[in-house]
Amino acid sequence: MKPFRIRLTLIIMLLLAVLGLAAAFTMAHIYKSSHEQTLEDNMLREIRLLETTFDFQAVGTEGQPANSILDYYTQQAQQIGKLTDSRVTFIELDGTVIGDSETDPRGMNNHSTREEIVAAKQDGVGSAIRYSSTLKENMLYVAAPVNKGDTFNGYIRLSMSLTAVEDGVRSAWTIMGISLLVLFIVAALVSYYVAASLTRPLEHITRVANRISRLDYGARVKLERQDEIGELGKAIDNMADSLEMQLKVIRDNEDLLQSVLANMTGGMVMVDDGGKIALVNRFAEEMLSINSRRMIGRPYHELKQHYELSRLLGEGLRRKERIHDEQTLYNPEPRLIEIDGVPMFEDDDAYRGMLFLIQDVSNIRRLERMRSEFVANVSHELKTPIAAVKGFAETLLSGGVNDEQTARSFLQIIYDESERLNRLIGDILELSKIESKRSPLEFSPIHLQSFFETIREMLNSSAAKKKITMEMNVPEELFMEADEDRLRQIFVNLISNAINYTQDGGMVKLAVHETMSERGEERIVFDVTDTGMGIPRKDLPRIFERFYRVDKARSRSSGGTGLGLSIVKHLVELHHGIVTVESEVHIGSTFTVNLPLLQGDEYDL
């Protein structure tokens, strides 16, 4: 495509050329014809002069004129020709030449049919331009009839060379040609400049529009003009503004969607109607251990490592209806996943493919299992004391009351068992309260030495019963922040366990000291050590589980519920601490509780 400015320049040039040439031709023509006219007029005047002043000799009327007459006219013609710088010819009425300044009339043809003679005969004056083969140039012939009665009746013809006129025309052409050329060049430059100034803003607008179409939405025309081109520029700028804004809205939406997809705690896989994977979110990537960048655009059955899953995806795509299934994924450890497939339709009901939501339900199922195990455990734990109460009550009813001593011991058992039942129910309620986080902790400063003093008083009698020495080593001025009732629950549980699982005459020690954690935070470490029977290594990892007991019979005889340590663990964790145990069979155990000195803001989640 030729740029517009070149085309415009060429059109202007063409117009100028046509106009210039037309003007030049017209001028040349006028110049030439006016010169010829003047020449013709002059020649006619000369003929008229000759008519009145020339001394005509009688030519005679019959036949060929005499030689002397021919000589006379020829001589006269030569003389006049020299004077007027022209060719002079005397011609009789019938066309016979009787004298000529250039040629001998005797060798000349009859001139009656010559154009100028024919015209002179008709109109009184005749003229013609012809190429003279004698003189080898263009000649102007002018003839007029002359009637001198008996002496001469015919025509005088003058002819002059047109070379002078033609030379003039030629030099005029040269001057006009040069000026036309100059005009042409100047016009070319001016029109190119004008065209360029007209098209430059258009080219600028085109460039900006191209940048915008190449997604450079920051490009602007910024033309300070009040005309139509300025309006066009403004319109393009407005369009770019609105495009940029729309794009921002689209990008924001996309970012929002992306972050929703990326942060979803569920996997999402979209498969289009052609069976190609169109979208995989981060969760699904992790769960299926695939790379979304590699998988997008690939057929779904390339998820070969999850054969069952890809089979299900295929089924969903085929059926185009909701599907639901649970499968185990090996990745490599087994995970239970729940898959929901939903067909996607566009506004016009066109099928777009399937959206699969993948949830990891391993934890939910595990919790469900734990819950039902818990219920089974609880019922089992409740059944034992109730069965005892029921059994002894039955024995008493069927006559056992009569023997007072037996009756007393049975009633004592019934009392003890109902006590245990009470404790058990209390512990279960406590545990579920802690687990459901129904009652929030109330932190307050606690003076540890006096705090442990009350615990010692509480447990003194049971220790004394077993002749167990209790030793408490608490720094005097140590305070900490905690929920006092819960903290008491922790240590009453740990210390009474230590007393319970230690033989008579043993020792239970509590040591408290401050430390600094790796993160530079002050913490307090409590060690509850006993010289008891210890816990076998294999049981250590499970000891904090609900209802877990190392030795069921012994735990029961000591009145334990099997829930104490799991309550301890929960309460310690609520205080942002950890509890650990070290133990050796027949030597003793140490339970270590590590708690922060202050319950800082960073814990308020």
Interface residues toward ligand ADP, by CB under 6 A: 497-498, 501, 530, 532-535, 543, 548-551, 555, 560-565, 589
**What is the smallest separation between the CB atom of 558 and ligand ADP, expressed in angstroms?**
7
Q: Which is nearer to ligand ADP, 155 or 547 (CB)?
A: 547
Q: How far apart are CA 49 and CA 314, in angstroms?
A: 124
Q: How far apart are CA 429 and CA 450, in angstroms?
A: 29
Angle made by CA atoms 257, 262, 266, in degrees to the nearest 5: 105
Q: Which is nearer to ligand ADP, 223 or 550 (CB)?
A: 550
CB 87 within 8 A of CB 111: no
Q: Which is nearer to ligand ADP, 100 or 427 (CB)?
A: 427
Under the phi-then-psi rule, with left for phi > 0, alpha for psi from -120 to 50, and beta for the rest, what region is 85?
Answer: left
CB 8 within 8 A of CB 199: yes
Tokens representing 386?
Answer: 């109730």
Tokens representing 342?
Answer: 């939903």
Q: Which is nearer to ligand ADP, 69 or 424 (CB)?
A: 424
Tokens representing 210?
Answer: 């191209």
Q: Which is nearer to ligand ADP, 1 or 553 (CB)?
A: 553
Q: Which is nearer to ligand ADP, 158 or 568 (CB)?
A: 568
**What is the smallest separation between the CB atom of 410 and ligand ADP, expressed in angstroms?**
25
Alpha helices in 214-291 (DSSP H): 228-263, 282-288
**What is the smallest separation between the CB atom of 458 and ligand ADP, expressed in angstroms?**
16
φ, ψ of residue 360 in degrees (nearest 5): -85, 110
The residue count for the chain: 605
Tokens representing 45?
Answer: 């005047």
Q: Which is nearer to ligand ADP, 295 or 550 (CB)?
A: 550
**What is the smallest separation between the CB atom of 483 and ligand ADP, expressed in angstroms?**
20
Q: How far apart are CA 420 and CA 269, in angstroms?
A: 54
**What is the smallest separation between the CB atom of 563 and ligand ADP, expressed in angstroms?**
6
Q: Which is nearer to ligand ADP, 159 or 529 (CB)?
A: 529
**What is the smallest separation between the CB atom of 500 and ligand ADP, expressed in angstroms?**
6
CB 142 within 8 A of CB 127: yes
**What is the smallest separation between the CB atom of 451 and ligand ADP, expressed in angstroms?**
21
Q: Which is nearer to ligand ADP, 285 or 527 (CB)?
A: 527
Burial class (CB in 10 A: 0-12, 13-18, 19+), 186: exposed
Q: Which is nearer to ligand ADP, 214 or 538 (CB)?
A: 538
**What is the smallest separation between the CB atom of 575 and ligand ADP, expressed in angstroms?**
18
CB 526 within 8 A of CB 493: no
Of 332, 312, 331, 304, which Cα lies nearest the Cα of 295? 304
- Strand partners for 287: none
Element (H, E) at 324: strand 323-330
**What is the smallest separation between the CB atom of 380 and ligand ADP, expressed in angstroms?**
14
- What sign for the dihedral angle of Cα 170, 175, 179, 182? positive
Q: Which is nearer to ligand ADP, 72 or 526 (CB)?
A: 526
Tokens representing 372?
Answer: 């039902």
CB 200 within 8 A of CB 208: no
Tokens representing 282?
Answer: 């981060």
Q: How far apart are CA 322 and CA 319, in angstroms?
A: 8
Angle made by CA atoms 337, 339, 341, in degrees to the nearest 5: 170
**What is the smallest separation between the CB atom of 531 and ligand ADP, expressed in angstroms?**
10
Q: Which is nearer to ligand ADP, 284 or 550 (CB)?
A: 550
CB 291 within 8 A of CB 298: no
For the beta carbon of residue 255, count every other beta carbon within 10 angstroms.
10
Q: Which residue is nearest to ligand ADP (CB)?
A: 560
Q: How far apart are CA 111 and CA 76, in angstroms?
A: 19
**What is the smallest separation between the CB atom of 485 and ligand ADP, expressed in angstroms?**
18
Of 398, 484, 405, which Cα lies nearest the Cα of 441? 484
**What is the smallest separation between the CB atom of 466 and ligand ADP, expressed in angstroms?**
13
**What is the smallest separation between the CB atom of 535 and ligand ADP, expressed in angstroms?**
5
